[in-house]
Amino acid sequence: MKGVILAGGSGTRLRPMTKIINKHLLPVGPFPMIHYAVSKMAAAGIKDIMLVTGKQSAGLFMEYIGSGSGWGVRLTYKIQEEAGGIAQALELADGFIQPQDKFVVLLGDNLFEDGLESAVRMFAEAEQGNAMVFLKKVADPRRYGVPEMRGDRIAAIEEKPAYPKSDYCVTGIYMYDSNVFDKIQEIQASERGELEITDVNNRYAAQGMLTYRLLEGWWTDAGTHRSLLEASIRLSASDVL
């Protein structure tokens, strides 16, 4: 298994801080936010990782993470020239991910308690063509992409629905094989001009090939000032490295 960390974007919800630095380099507890994504992958035994980020702070990522040797991993860097959506950023990993590879994708602003080890082992043994997303039960699913679950599969994901079909949201933790790049080629840009990862996941869902795993511990998308503070408090009180 390989890993891809997506750490681009403009961080508009965290302005004015993100006017001068990429949000994934903001401090969360004792470390920059990006530290935790690399640590989660390293703890799961993932050794080859690509970090996709924008031009603004690329040098700072390299200065902090370097080759990845401090985590026992090998880091490859890829520059996303302009924000075009999560799926567009993921497409940049085509080539780093070989046809036989399976891999984990983390959005760098997703901070969470659970380890990935058992899920990585399970997905490594799954049949080719499957994809997996991680779900978390939330108080207000209307703010997120909400899955409609049927047994151990997801039938469809609806973005910010007025009437959610479940109390779960799709987090920024995904697992794919190289077939995902074909799915990205099949989708069109959304109304906001971006290639949406939900459209990619719904391609798998329509084929009955989208599975899921539930997060048991805490999770946050640290993309707002409030969630960034909450994550800092949690991680300051933990021994997560």
What residue type is assigned to position 96 of the chain?
F
- Read off the pLDDT of residues 99-139 as tens digits, 9 standing for 90 and up: 989 999 999 989 999 999 999 999 998 877 789 999 999 98
- Read off the pLDDT of residues 56-80 as tens digits, 9 standing for 90 and up: 888 899 999 999 999 999 999 999 8
Query: 45: buried, middle or exposed (CB in 10 Å: 19+, 13-18, 0-12)?
Result: middle
Angle between helices 58-65 and 33-43 (to 10 degrees): 50
- pTM reported for the whole predicted model: 0.92
* CA 190 – CA 143 distance, rounded (Å): 18
Place of tokens 């800092």: 232
